[in-house]
Amino acid sequence: MRFITFLIFLNFLNTAINAEETRQVDQHEHGVGELNIAIDGSVIDFEFMLPGADIVGFEYEAKSDEDIVKVNEALAMLDNYKNIFSLPVNSNCKLSTSQISLKEEEHDEHEEHEEESHNEFYAKYSFSCGNIQEIDRIEFTYFKTFANSSELEVQFISNVGSTSFEVEGDAPFILTEGKI
């Protein structure tokens, strides 16, 4: 079991490093969020990294009262995982922990010598499941909750192996049968 946890850690670390390298090289892509899903025994974790433009319509630091309200409303929406995704009822998954935050990063624009800030919403949900094998489909209400979003790039790892998916608003689900 520790070996699987170690493999999950290494995969997420590698994904984070590659994502950061990609972010630094490529332009920030609006409409595309990232999601890591890890399964270890009866535990399933979801870790979302979502561009501010997709969630609140802007990426700069919220300073006006109106923008601060939008950010707080978005954090409240993210606090309830059912606004983002759902698991099959017969999997008997119960939320055990969650963490929601807003991360603000500043990027130095080399050509213009200006700093540009980007905000990214972070949400992590951990579930303990009574019958994890029953998770054959994960539905994403995320695309209805946040209309500016159009795609999630998903990294999925379990003791069966790892794979990746792209989930789009016109087909807001992934099939996990045979991957758990």
Highest mean pLDDT (candidates 19-23, 113-117, 124-128): 124-128
Instruction: Indicate the pLDDT class of residue 36, thresholds 50, 70 and 90.
Output: very high
Tens digits of residue pLDDT in 66-77:
999 999 999 999
pLDDT for 140: 97
- pTM for the model stands at 0.79
57 has pLDDT over 50: yes
Mean pLDDT, the chain, whole residue set: 83
- 81 or 11: whose pLDDT is higher? 81
**DSSP states of the chain:** -HHHHHHHHHHHHHHHHHHHHHHHHSPP-TTEEEEEEEEETTEEEEEEEEEHHHHTS--SPP-SHHHHHHHHHHHHHHHSGGGT-B--GGG-EEEEEEEEEEEEEEEEETTTTEEEEEEEEEEEEEEEES-GGG--EEE-THHHHSTT--EEEEEEEETTEEEEEEEETTB-EEE-TT--
